[in-house]
Every structure is written in C-alpha cells, then in structure tokens.
Structure 1
Amino acid sequence: MAIDFKKQLKQGIKELQKNPIDIYDTLDRSASVGPLRPVQLTILKKWYEERRDDKELIIKLPTGAGKTLIGLLILKSKLNSGEGPCLYICPNNYLANQTKLEAERFGIEVCQFTQFNDIPREFLDGKAILITTAQKFFNGMTVFGLDARYIEIGTIVLDDSHACIDIVNNAFSITLNKGEGAYEELLDLFTPNLKQQGEGTFIDLCEGEFDSLMQIPYWSWEEKSSDVLRILSKYKYVEEIKFSWSILKDIIPKCKAFISGNSIEISPYYIPIEKFPAFQNAKNKILMSATTQNDTFLIQGLGFRKETVSHPLVDPTLLWSGEKMLIIPELLNADPAFSLELRSHFSKLEYPFGSVAIVPSNKKSEFYTVNGAELISQEDLIERVEYLKNNNYSKNRVNLVVISNKYDGIDLPDSACRFLILDSLPYFQNLSDSYEERVRPSGDLIQKKRAQKIEQGLGRSVRGEKDFSVILLLGNHLVNFITNSKTKKYFSPETQKQIEIGDSIMSLSGVEQFSSNTEFIKHIISVMKQCIDRDESWKEYYTQSMNRPIEILEQEENYFEMIELEYEAEREFYKGNYSLAISKIQDLADRAPDPLEKGWYLQSKARFELNNNKMQSTNTQKQAQKLNCNLLIPSDVIDYEKLEYVDGNRNQRIINFLKQYSRHEKLLQEVQTQLDYLSFGQRADKFETALDFIGQLLGYVTDRPDKKIRKGPDNLWCVRNNEYFMFECKSEVKESRESITKTEVGQFNNHCGWFEGVYGGMTKVNRFIFIPTQKVSYEGHFTHEVKVIRKHKLNYLKRNILNFIKELAAYNFSEMHIDKINQLLVTHELKTDDFESLYSEEIIVTK
C-alpha cells in the first residue's frame, strides 16, 4: 500500500516562491545543469529588488550570458505572484523550440500553441508560460486580438528584441512584388508623379534594374489614397496583404510608399503599436537585448520612453564574454586583388571545425562558391546549422559554408564555427531603410542600424563565455566603417575593444616584412592558429586587452531626446494634431547637426503642412530639397544654379582638397573606398557619388544635376573655364549587355539638350557614358558626339588615381607646391585631356 505523504504535511496552502533566485533552487531541473551563473544572479537580484514593477524594461546582456533562463525565471516569478498570464516571444520557430527545450531542462512549466491554433488553457489560467513567435503575435489576424477585443496579459518577455522589432515593422507593412496585379496597377497609377521625380531613374525602375528605388511623393500618395485603397482591396486576400490589411486599411493616407524595380513597400510613418492592445496594455513588458548601443529605434517602433532605453538593466561588472580574434588584413593591404585572393584561398580549404562566411547578397557569395564553398539557402539553413553543431570533426572535415544576408537568429557555438568570415557591409532589406540610407547617409539612426547588423554577425560564432572564434573581416567599406572614429562609436564597448585588438594584430604583423600576398596569407593563418590551438600568450594578451578600460565616445546628450521628439511629432500628426506636430518637427529641424538632416526634418514638416496650407507645404519642401538634393522634388520647378570654375588653378584646388585629411592613411582609405564604389555592378547612387568625389579630388568643380533637379546628366564637371565633362552612368546594367538601348540613347540626348539650354550651345563639353558596351543598338542614334568608358578603361583610370594617391605619401600636404602636383598628374596620366584620349572609346553604330 502506497504511503500518503500529503497527510504528513502541515495544514495550509504551500506558499509559492516569488524571488526568481529562490525559485531556481526549487526547480526539478536536469542533473546536467548547475547553479546560476554570477551574471544571472546579479541581474535577477537587481530585477527583483529594484525593477520588478517597471512597466517597461530592457535587460542587456552579451550573447551566451544566459538571457533565456533569466527571462523564464522572471516570468515564473510573475506567475507565482499571481500576475499572469505570462508570454515569452521569440523571433522565429527555431528559437521558440530552443527556448521550450531550455525550459524543460530547468523544470519550468511552459506550453505552446496546438496544431489547431488554440490558446492553451494553462497559459490563460496563469499556470504555465506560453512560448510563441513574434510573427504569431504581431499580425493583423492575431489570435491575441486587435483593438477593443483582446487577451489581457500580465508580463511579456520579448527575446532578441532587435530581431522582433523587424517583425513588428513587417506587421505594419505591405510588400507587393513585381509581376503581381497590385504592383502593376499602383505603378500605372503613380507613373506621372514618379517621372516628375526623375525620368532616368523611373526608366531604370521599369526595366527592373536591381537597385533602382524611388519614393512615391507624399502629396501624390495622399491625393490618390482612395484609388490606392480600391486597388489594395481587390487583392486583400493575397498572402502579401491579408496579414496587414486589417491594421493598415484605415490609415493608408498616412502611410509612406517606396517602389523599386522588384517591389512596392507600404508602411505607416508612425507605427500605431496600440493596435496590438495585448502588448500595449500588458502590465510589464521586458525586452531582452544584446549589448549593442543602437536600440534607440525601440522608441519609434514600440513607443518605449527614452528613459527606459537609456537606463537598461545591466551587470556593470561584466566587461566581456567569450573570445573573438578579429583579423582585418585590409588595414595593411587594401588592394581589391588581395581581397579576392583571400576569399579564394579560404574557400578552397577543408576545415576540422565549422567555418562560415556571411555575405550581404547572393551576388557576393559568388566570390566563394566559384572556389568550392557552398551557399546555403534559407530553407536549408536550420538543417545545415544542426549538422555543423553535431558533426564529428575528428572524422569529417567540412567545406566553407556561405550564408546570404542572415546576421541574426543563427547560433553556431563551439566547434560549429571556429572560423567566421564577415564580408562587406550588410544591406538593408526593407525599402524604407534603403531609402533613408540614401537620403540621410550620415544620420545616427541608419548608422546604428548598420552597426547592429554587423555586431549581430560578429556574435554568430561565439555563444558563451568560454567560446572562442577567429573572425576575418573583408571588404574595404566594412573595414572603414568599423575602424572609423565617426562610426566605431556605434558599437558596444566590448566590440570596440575587440576592434582595437584586431587593429593591434595588424600593426604587430607589419605588411612590409612579407615579400608577397602569399607570404602575408601564411602569416594570417599562423596568427589564426594561435587562437584556435589555444596559444597561452594569445589568451593572456586577449584577456589583458579586454580588461583594460577603453575610451568610449559618448553619444550626444540630446540624442535620445531627438529620437523621442521625432516619434512624438509623427504620433501627433497621426492623431490629427497638425499644429503640434509641425511645432515639434520644426524644433528638430532647428537642432539638426547638418544640412542633410535639417532637410530631412523639413520634408516631414512639409508633409505635416499639406493638410492646412498646400502653398506653405510646397515652399517648405523647396527649402528641404535645397538643403538635401536627395529628397523629393516639389511640384513647382526648382531653379538650377549653373556650375562655374571659380578657382582657375586646378592644382591648387587639389592641394586644398588634400588638406582635409590629417594623415595620408585616411586619404588612401577614403579614396580606396570610393574607387570600390566606382565599379560596374555597384548601385547607381553610390557610383555617381564616388564619381563626384573623384572629380573633386582631381581639382574640378562638380555637380549632380539629375540628383538635384531630376533633369540633366548624372554627373557634371567643370574642368576649365567654360569647359565641361558630362557623364551618364549605367553602372547597374549587366556586363554581358550587347548594346546601348534606344531608351538609353534617347535619355542621353535629352540631357544634351538640357545642357545646351542651360549652358548655351557654344559651350565646350565632352560627353561620356559609363557602360559595359560601346555598341549602339540599330534603333538608337546619338544627336551629339559621345564617348564610352568601359570596364577596362575605368579600371585603368582607377589604377592611375590610386597610384597618384599612393605617391602622395612622401609629401606633407600643407607644404606641397602646385608644380609638384602638376608633375604627378603628368606622371600618372591624369591631365584633363587624358580623359578623352586614354580613358574613353568611340561608339560603334550597329548597321
């Protein structure tokens, strides 16, 4: 007969533990898990004693510090306090299942949705934590309810909050792909308005150029919002619309819209998170975050107060976690040919551990796959990650695995990835961020988002305090971003220290001691082995360096205030409080640190004014566009200011340009970055910006009429008094292109007519078109003399420019004489007449 132990217990109801540390001691957890780590004890103690009643809270801890268990214990504490239901939200199903397994290991009661999509009763009753995904929670058909009808929740933990924010943004977005009915109908609807913004870009967009992007003018969008609703309503049951339709259908006039050659993206300026009351009205919202500094957009995405964002819960004693050896070869050798050699070398190897390369696009992956590496699709990613984790590396060597544009949501601990390559700057996936990057490239928010993606990528291979990995950083633009003092500040203190160590490794290497690239690569591999083979001197050097205090550049004191003010302005406009919105955005414009930012805020002001005073709105938009030529062209024509050669001494202009750089190394790095952008296959805007930079570097007066007024050529240089170079840039066309099309010829002819109308028919001008072919299609006919600059001629020009800059290393910029500049220009074939004679070719007419 069984013994009834219950009779032996004292009478009364057993009181549940509320302190999460005490709860952990009572859990029926797996024998394989030990006590709480010191960092977990610190965070849980501070939360329970100081922050448990905070309505909003951000917990910041580095990867591998045990955030998942912390979140689960906090929710268990809330359940034991009778403050359920409690919800744990992950970015995707993979991490949700990992969290469920983690909870089961520790004996914490959790539940998930059934196959019938029913909300578990034990969650509603406050007996178990519900684990789900952000996509399940944040969508227009959510089972948690919208508007007035919703499920009340006590505490929500949002794990990997930055990834979840992207999903929240997607919930408020509609993306329509080219080839679908809605895309084509909207394109037809706004064709006149888009043409007015730039006919050349519009033509590229219609021809499907991969990186063409335009914003539909806000005044056109609002004017035609009823037509937009009619079109979208026809397609509201298609997959791309149905999950957002109920959220957006009543606020379409207050949305922004961007169109590319592949898709249209529609989303609100202000994210009305209150449409998800289960989240908005939760008693406690806790965001789990890595130690990146760029979480200010949580204000604009979730409506958190700036005090919440600026005062996260952290463990101040935890300086760093895990070991990352950053190898940055391009600090010593920025030659693109050397970078290609590095990619080729590491692609051909077989490894006794997991090795992964993260690239921003499938096109970038070709550098690796052509040499034997394997590109893994999104569909096969989870399976391959599991293989890397479970492979017996003592028996099976593996090839390099390439992952495209996936910087988070992948855990590759220990031998799953001892060697990681992070190649090139990440791309922004949504059109809104891509547009913002183009029109306010120096803005803090965009730079912070990019730094976050990089930091997420760096964290893929080190998932715990005892984990270690070598990380090879490639791509001049990426290297410049992480080492430049203006952008380095956007990284966490831990990452900044690791970047400094990587810089020191290169300084200690000294490229001058190697007779060839092959010798340098052998040296790099020997240094990598010091980390992988656990060299004691390296481990001690890393620990000592990481423990050393680092000088962190403080953010602007008013930065959080600026972010919140922009959020408040958009919120007031959304609510119809136009005067208050205008006042707040004017305040922002007055504080803006540079003209591009001021113009950005004035464009928002013009949008706010549209409802009250269209004439005033147009005038404000003109002011905005004059400050920032990347912004929308108002419906009234903007006057064009002619380009004139103010300073007749080209060589002196070159010296003045050089004096902007305190050190030759900085000049060389910047020139190399711009020359990389000046390549076929690059985005048109980056190519044209680089060409403008090169023009100034070479002492010319430059302009970009098409960018300024959406008329005229892409680039214009005044090279002598009353003499010009006119450039049309077709950097995005396929290199296999056989001929210049009739459309492109007509576009160039129009630009020639514009030039004669503005500058006069007698003004001397040389006309060039950057394009991979010199043949003109049978249907096309240039009305003026035009020369072609193809790939081999462009590379010749770039090589001469780079050699010119390298030779400047021997001179003090402030003491240089114009005669020396002239001599160097002759030596490196960079005289004005060389452009026509050396770097361009005659066109070939197809008969």
Structure 2
Amino acid sequence: MNLLSKLSSSTKAKTIEPREIFMTLPSKAPGYGYPRDVQSEVWKKWFDIRNEKNVILKMNTGSGKTVVGLIMLQSCLNEEKGPAIYVVPDNYLVKQVIDEAKRLGISATEDKDDYSYSNSKAILVTSIQTIVNGYSYFGMREGGNYPIGSIIIDDVHACMDKIISQFMIKIDAESDAYKELIAIFSSSLKDYNPKNYIDIVEMKDCRKKMLVPYWEWQRQQDNIYRILTKYDNSKNSAIYFGLPLIERSLKTSDCIITASAIEISPKGIDLDKISSLEEASRRIYMSATLADDSVFVSALGLNTEDMKNIITPENANDIGDRLIIFPKYVNSDISEIEIKEKIEEIAEKYNVVILVPSFSRAKFWDERGIRTATKDNIDKIVAALKSGKHVGKIIFVNRYDGIDLPGDACRMLVIDGLPPLNSIKDRYIQSVAPQSTVLLREQVQRIEQGMGRGIRSNDDECCIVLMGDELTDVLSRNRGIDYFSVATRCQYDLSKQLWDLLVSETGSKPTIDQIFELANYSLEKNAEWVATCKENLAAVKYSNEAKVDEKIVAQRKAFENAINMQWSDAANTIKSVKDKEKDKKTKGYLYQIQAEYTNKIDPALSQEVLKAGKKLNAAILSPIAGIQYQRTINTIPQAQAISTNLDAEKLGLNELLVYVDGILANLCMGSEYEKFEEALSQIGTILGFVCSRPDKETGGYGPDNLWAIDTGKYLVIECKTEATTQTIKKDYCNQLSGSVNWFKENYVYPNECVPIMIHPSKVVDEVASPDENMRVMTEKELTCFRKNLRDFYSTLCQNGNLSDVNKINELLRIYKLRKDDIVNRYTVKFERKD
C-alpha cells in the first residue's frame, strides 16, 4: 500500500466555496453536472455569512434543498468546522439523504460511532429524536457527550413537531404513575369540578379532558416530582426520556388529565439542555418558504438578532406549477360524494394522492383499506408511485411532510380536511381559544407542506384539490390563505382568477364537471397555463424579513423568565400582549397564563386576574371562589336577531354558506363532543337565539348547551352524540335531570325549560328514571334539522337581502325553524325499553 503518496495528496488545501465543491466532486452520478441557479444563489449568500451561529435557509420543496444542505456541510468539514450532522424528521428521510449523498459522491453515515464521522471525514445523517431526547449522546450525559461543530436541521417545521413531543410526558392510564398522580389531585379536583372529575376518572369518558388548576399543580410540586422520579426508568419510557428535558420547567408545565392519559407539557422548549447543540459553532435551519417564522422563536428559542440571518432565493420561480381547485368554495352546493366520484374518475388515468387527517377519514375513500398507506407498506407504495407506472388512487394518513412524489408519481393531490392537532394541549387550547392565530398558522402551514408533496422541481406540475367543510371555512372565512407563503399565495390567486372567470362564463354556480375541467390545464400540461404560471411566479419576490406573531414572542420571553424564576417579569410580559389582543377568547386565555405566573408571587392577585379573564372567556379555568353565573337572556325577536348577527359577521353570500357548512360538518352523530357542543351553540346563534355552554362556563355545573329561544323560554340540552349503546343510560338521564334542577335554581319561575337529550337512540334503559318532560333528538331528527337549516340559508343567500326581516320570518316558517318548531319538529318523546 502506497500510503505516503496518498498522505501527500490529502494534505492539499481543500476548497470551501460550495459551488466549487459541487463542481469538483469526483464521482457524482449522471444528472449532477451543474447546480441549479437557485442552489448557486443560496450557497453564495450562505458563504458570506457562514460564520454566524444561527442561519435560517428558506427554499421551496423541490428546489434541491438536500443537495444544498449536503454541500454546505461538506464546506464546513473542509473548513475544519466539524463534526457535521444533517438532521431530518424521521428515519424514512435519513435513508433518502444518505442516497442523495451517495449520488453526489459525498461521504455520509447513519452511525454516530463511525470513525469517519467522529474525525470529520463524513457527514452524520440522523433523525431529530437522536439529537433531542432525555438521554441524548449530544448533550444530556454527565460526560463524554458527542460534540457538534456544524449542524443542519432540515424540514424545521416537521422537526419541531418531534422536538415538542420529546419535551412532553404522556403517562398511560394503565400505569401506576397515572394512578398515583390522580390520587394526589383527586380531592381538589372533586371539589373544583366534580362533574368533570366523575366523567374522566370514574366513568372513563375518553371524550373529556381536564386541566389541573395551576395553583394545585404548583402546590403539589414536591409530590409530583417524587412520583415522576419513582417511575423514571426504562419501563416508563415517556417519563424516562421526558423528565430530564422538562425538569427545569416543571413548575409551570400544563397538566391535562384524560381517561386514557395524563399529558405534562411545558410552556416552551428548553433546548439549551442539549449542550452540544447549544455549543455548535454553525447551526443552519432549513425550511420551506412558509409565511410565519414563529416556530424559530417558540421551539428553537432564537432571538431577534438571529432572525436577521434569513437566506431566500431572489425569486419564487424555484417552485413547480400548481393549479389549485377548491370546489366547495366555487359552488357551496357541491357535495363531498360528488368530489370523490370525480377524483376517482381522474384516478383511472392519473396517479392521485389523497392526504387525510385520520384512518377513519381514509375509509371514506378506501373502505377496505387496500389503497391506504400504513407504516408497514408505505415504502412499497411510494416506490410504486415513483416507478412511472399507473397506480391510481392512494391515501396517506397524516403525512403532510417527508414524502417526495415527483412527476407522474402524483399528478393530482387532494387535501381532504384539516390536519389534526398534535397534542392534548393543542386540543385544549382550541377548545378555550378557537380563534387562536397560533393554531390557525400551524394548521395552514401543514396544509401548505402537504400541498408541496406533488412538486419536486421547478419543471414539475401538480393539480391540488382542497376539500372538507372545516378546511374550507378555515381558509376562506378565517382568512387562512393569508398565512400561505408568497409563492403558494401567488398560485392560489392565479387559480382563483380561473374560478372567477368560470363563474362569470357559466352565469351561475358551475357544475362539478365544469370545475374539474380546469384541472386539465395541469393534468395535460397545457403550455399556455405553464407559461402563465411561471410568469406570475417570476414576479414574486421572497422576503428575508422574519414574520413572527408577537404573542409567540411574548410567551417565549415569559417562559425564559419563568425558568429563571423571574415570575413578575414573566407575568408582565404576557400582560403586555394581552392588553393589545382584540379577540375576547384569546385575550381571556392570555389572562389565564398571566394569572399562572402571578400565582408564584401573589396568589390573591392571581385569582383576581383569572376572574377578569373568565368574564371574557367562560371556557378558561374558574377562580377558586367561583364566579357569579351570568344568566342567558333573549329579548330580541328571532328574525331580527338573525339579521343583526349576519350584519355583524360581514360575510359574502358564498362565504356565509361555507361558514354554515363548516359548522354543520361537526353537527352529526359521532362527532367529537367538544366540536359538537360548540357547533350546536353556533347553530343556535345563527338561528337567532341566545346560546351558552354552562357546563364549560361554570366548571362542571349545568347542561352542555342552553338555548334561550324566547323571553323566559329555554332549551336545556345534554349532548351524547358519541354514545354507542342501544339505549339511553341511567347516568345520562340523571345528568339531564341534574341540569334541569340547576336551571330551576338559576332561572326562577316564570322561566321554563324543555329538557332535550341528543342521542342515537330514543329508548331509555329500563333502570333509568328520566325527567317526565325529556325530549330526544336522534340521528333522524338531527339529519332533518341539518338539512332544513342548510336549505334555509341557501334560499336566504339566493334571495340576497340578508336584512329583510319579513323574508327571514317567511323562510323560518317554510323550513320549520321557528322557536316552537325546534322542539315540535326535531325532537321526540322518549320511549321505555320493553
């Protein structure tokens, strides 16, 4: 072996300029002759600021980000800034990056103990969980942590989801730790919210959730820590890997109890715990060009200075062509079944990928599950799609990132429904602050990430179909489209011009066939469409200015103050953004966070702050002393109230129908109870009644829903839409009777109420003792109610004059939606089991 000659050649100075490295790689695979313009552009920008500790690189999906990242890390190694790590969200993507490195001829490994990696001769490619966990080799051991010189975290938004789940302890209900934690809180929770406690702990109602009041959580800190450390072993992996990460922030963590688990999650991510990551000299965060940068603050803890180092391409022409179709937005009368049939027709010729939020929704498309990807067959399915063959319709469940489907692998991509929220805490926040811009941004970003699965280069094409009533409502009425990146928004606006032209050409609501004719511009690669799309994108400039929600910044600052025990500063930081907040429910939730930090220095003041927040948002925690119940009163005639409400909403006619459909989507048997109860409250309001949710507002007292349908006349409603029994159980009947008693205590004579149970069955259990006046709304009545409500608003919108009280009254009569109709038409008398 002539080692000396090899030694002399290896001592030559290595180039560090990225484009030059790319050009001089000796064993690149065919097709890698020259870099794309956009790659050269971002390499140059990065090279100029490469010595900044934190750099954010934004490039669109399909613009060659992986190659860009690998070359950057090779540059770092050549400059002796190793060891170098390329981090991705999961193991499936590790393999993809390794394969890309092989094609480039760059040395890469999956093994952290590989000699070449530890000696800065190769790039380690690994998942984010390897770097961030309670026993990470990269900073969580007492000694011998693996150093990091340069690191790239690719697909930051997906990685952040994984990081957040690592900084969380989820304890299964079957475990001893769960039982012991319940035991220390049981007496206080029984006093605080007896109804919720019984539902969750005793009745094992999986629908319900309960936030442990912060004053009780803080008071029990020693006992909580004692239990967690007792079960801090490999048999309890959630505690074992989670506790070391959240130990510093345990005092102000949120603890939410459900019948299936206890979830403990901090108010921020203490990423400094991963010492090697904190000490790395170069940290490069790669993301798609999404419109909101809050995640860099909330999960990575970057500050304002760090956010100045944002690299983007000059233009948005690094993205492929997407034509977006939004059938329900164009014509609100189109049904999901019609859309499904049309898409399946297209799938006979082209590969169509459908992204759904859950396996239950996947059954809508694929009842037998033979075309649905699972963890066991996903590799095989992706390979089949990429093979160039016609596969047809494929359904992916909750896979909005990490799958690359170029060219004919995916010619049409369907986003069906809203991406699911990731944690119990997110679902809690949605229940108390449904208009939270934080959650809205997260969901819209996941939608956009999903839309990127079908275009992997700037000469790729894909037709995107958006569907689902909730998704339609979020993007249109809630202006979710404002959170799209500039490139996606450009393609959305260009597509909308086509919809507008179609509507004006047809002179009415276009048919499903007419709407899907637009898809042919993309499917058939129409030259004029492609040229128009590229011209529009070429004019779009990316911004390198960070866009961050100030509420996120404030919550991050408050979290950092709290872990340093600067409680007053933490409370005041939240107060500063709370005082500016316009949405009442979001403002009320911020009051709760402020109160929690305040409790560490002044418990009495904390309760006053919480009391003020409760007046704005009845869904937040109730103060210890409770709060004076505000009666629900109706003094305005129904038709006049409908007209007034519509005027306040300021929605266009089509947007109004989309809004109604979005509510009705959750008003069906089997819906999640929280969504059903909120939908029922919203439906009552748009029918001109005054509605409230006493159970939620009083902390477990009163009915699920209360409708004031006239002066002194009320509907007391209990919702059991997720019930699976053939009869109405004794407990449900007792609950409704208890709600009637609550009504009589709070609404004295001459106020009267009709008790209503919403349940799949009208037959009561033989041992039950229902209120003699109880009425039942079963699926049959609920379906009729939904149809008449939809038809009422459809006709009202066709009429066009939403302020015509006489017309509204006439339509209420025609569609049987007047106050007396609600009971007489849509409920039935209960029956006893034979």
The reply to whether TM is greater than 0.5 is yes
2:290 counterpart of 1:292: yes
Superposed CA deviations along residues 776-825 of structure 1, whole A, max 9, x for unmatched, are 11221123411001112112112222222122235454752x33322221
Give the conservation status (yes or no) of the 8 Å contact 1:650–1:699: yes
Superposed CA deviations along residues 81-132 of structure 1, whole A, max 9, x for unmatched, are 222222111111221121122112222222331xxxx523332322222221
Q: Secondary structure at the match of 1:398?
A: coil
One-letter code of the match for 1:36?
Answer: P
2:711 counterpart of 1:715: no
Q: Secondary structure at the match of 2:430?
A: helix
Q: Hey, what does 2:628 align to over in structure 1?
A: 639
For residue 379 of structure 2, the aligned residue among 352, 377, 382 is 382
Structure 1 pair 197–512 and aligned structure 2 pair: CA distance change class (3 A)? farther
Q: Hey, what does 1:410 align to over in structure 2?
A: 403
Give the conservation status (yes or no) of the 8 Å contact 2:56–2:311: yes
Q: Hey, what does 2:362 align to over in structure 1?
A: 365
Q: Hey, what does 1:64 align to over in structure 2?
A: 62
Q: Hey, what does 2:787 align to over in structure 1?
A: 799
Q: Hey, what does 1:752 align to over in structure 2?
A: 740
Q: Hey, what does 1:537 align to over in structure 2?
A: 528
For residue 675 of structure 2, the aligned residue among 686, 691, 695 is 686
One-letter code of the match for 2:739?
Answer: H
Structure 1 pair 200–540 and aligned structure 2 pair: CA distance change class (3 A)? farther
Shift in Å, 1:194: 4.3
Q: Hey, what does 2:261 align to over in structure 1?
A: 263
Superposed CA deviations along residues 275-318 of structure 1, whole A, max 9, x for unmatched, are 10111111121100001123312212111113434652101223
497-506 or 703-712, larger mean C-alpha shift: 497-506
RMSD: 2.9
Q: Hey, what does 1:781 align to over in structure 2?
A: 769
Q: Hey, what does 2:438 align to over in structure 1?
A: 445
Structure 1 pair 743–502 and aligned structure 2 pair: CA distance change class (3 A)? farther
One-letter code of the match for 1:159?
Answer: D
484-493 or 273-282, larger mean C-alpha shift: 484-493
Q: Hey, what does 2:162 align to over in structure 1?
A: 167
Superposed CA deviations along residues 672-715 of structure 1, whole A, max 9, x for unmatched, are 21122222222222222222222222222222211211211122
Shift in Å, 1:846: 2.5
Give the conservation status (yes or no) of the 8 Å contact 2:435–2:583: no
**Distance between the aligned counterparts of 2:319 and 2:617, measured in 1?**
43
Q: Hey, what does 1:231 align to over in structure 2?
A: 227
One-letter code of the match for 1:483?
Answer: S
Shift in Å, 1:188: 4.2
One-letter code of the match for 1:752?
Answer: V
Give the conservation status (yes or no) of the 8 Å contact 1:348–1:371: no
**Distance between the aligned counterparts of 1:317 and 1:175, measured in 2?**
44
**Distance between the aligned counterparts of 1:30 and 1:23, measured in 2?**
11
Q: Hey, what does 2:827 align to over in structure 1?
A: 840
One-letter code of the match for 1:292?
Answer: L
One-letter code of the match for 1:312?
Answer: I
Shift in Å, 1:738: 0.5
| Alignment of structure 1 residues 110-509 onto 2, 5 Å | 110-113=108-111, 119-146=113-140, 149=143, 150-195=145-190, 198-206=193-201, 207=203, 209=205, 211-236=207-232, 237-238=234-235, 239-249=237-247, 251-309=249-307, 312-335=310-333, 338-344=335-341, 346-347=343-344, 351-370=348-367, 374-390=371-387, 392-393=388-389, 397-484=390-477, 486-509=479-502
**Distance between the aligned counterparts of 1:111 and 1:742, measured in 2?**
62
Structure 1 pair 296–811 and aligned structure 2 pair: CA distance change class (3 A)? same
Q: Which runs of 5+ in 1 are unaligned?
A: none
Q: Hey, what does 1:725 align to over in structure 2?
A: 715
Aligned residue pair count: 827
One-letter code of the match for 1:615?
Answer: A
**Distance between the aligned counterparts of 2:6 and 2:278, measured in 1?**
43
Q: Hey, what does 1:820 align to over in structure 2?
A: 807
Superposed CA deviations along residues 301-336 of structure 1, whole A, max 9, x for unmatched, are 111113434652101223451122222111233347
Structure 1 pair 494–320 and aligned structure 2 pair: CA distance change class (3 A)? farther
For residue 581 of structure 1, the aligned residue among 541, 558, 570 is 570
Give the conservation status (yes or no) of the 8 Å contact 2:138–2:148: no
Give the conservation status (yes or no) of the 8 Å contact 2:707–2:716: yes
507-516 or 779-788, larger mean C-alpha shift: 507-516
One-letter code of the match for 2:169?
Answer: I
Shift in Å, 1:68: 1.3
Shift in Å, 1:208: 5.0
After TM superposition, the score normalised by the length of structure 2 is 0.93
Structure 1 pair 213–18 and aligned structure 2 pair: CA distance change class (3 A)? same
Structure 1 pair 841–721 and aligned structure 2 pair: CA distance change class (3 A)? same
Superposed CA deviations along residues 551-598 of structure 1, whole A, max 9, x for unmatched, are 99x99x995444222211111111111122222222222222332222
Give the conservation status (yes or no) of the 8 Å contact 1:147–1:275: no
**Distance between the aligned counterparts of 2:11 and 2:3, measured in 1?**
20
Shift in Å, 1:527: 3.4
| Alignment of structure 1 residues 28-107 onto 2, 5 Å | 28-32=26-30, 33-49=32-48, 51-107=49-105
Q: Secondary structure at the match of 2:324?
A: strand
Q: Secondary structure at the match of 1:830?
A: coil
Structure 1 pair 558–61 and aligned structure 2 pair: CA distance change class (3 A)? closer
Give the conservation status (yes or no) of the 8 Å contact 1:482–1:499: no
Q: Hey, what does 2:796 align to over in structure 1?
A: 808
**Distance between the aligned counterparts of 2:547 and 2:489, measured in 1?**
23
Q: Hey, what does 1:738 align to over in structure 2?
A: 726
Shift in Å, 1:618: 1.6
217-226 or 455-464, larger mean C-alpha shift: 217-226
**Distance between the aligned counterparts of 1:550 and 1:214, measured in 2?**
46
Q: Hey, what does 2:759 align to over in structure 1?
A: 771
For residue 677 of structure 1, the aligned residue among 637, 641, 666 is 666
Give the conservation status (yes or no) of the 8 Å contact 2:139–2:273: no
**Distance between the aligned counterparts of 2:28 and 2:548, measured in 1?**
46
Structure 1 pair 192–398 and aligned structure 2 pair: CA distance change class (3 A)? farther
Shift in Å, 1:147: 6.6
**Distance between the aligned counterparts of 2:746 and 2:6, measured in 1?**
97
One-letter code of the match for 2:723?
Answer: V
Structure 1 pair 349–535 and aligned structure 2 pair: CA distance change class (3 A)? closer
Give the conservation status (yes or no) of the 8 Å contact 1:60–1:289: yes
For residue 613 of structure 1, the aligned residue among 581, 592, 602 is 602
79-88 or 118-127, larger mean C-alpha shift: 118-127
**Distance between the aligned counterparts of 2:229 and 2:220, measured in 1?**
14
Superposed CA deviations along residues 392-435 of structure 1, whole A, max 9, x for unmatched, are 52xxx434221211211111222222222110111112112222
Structure 1 pair 846–831 and aligned structure 2 pair: CA distance change class (3 A)? same
Give the conservation status (yes or no) of the 8 Å contact 1:770–1:790: yes
Structure 1 pair 446–372 and aligned structure 2 pair: CA distance change class (3 A)? closer
Structure 1 pair 808–561 and aligned structure 2 pair: CA distance change class (3 A)? closer
Shift in Å, 1:346: 3.6
155-164 or 248-257, larger mean C-alpha shift: 248-257
Give the conservation status (yes or no) of the 8 Å contact 1:373–1:401: no
Q: Secondary structure at the match of 1:24?
A: helix
One-letter code of the match for 1:775?
Answer: V
Give the conservation status (yes or no) of the 8 Å contact 2:356–2:417: yes
Structure 1 pair 759–560 and aligned structure 2 pair: CA distance change class (3 A)? closer
One-letter code of the match for 1:791?
Answer: E
Q: Secondary structure at the match of 1:719?
A: strand
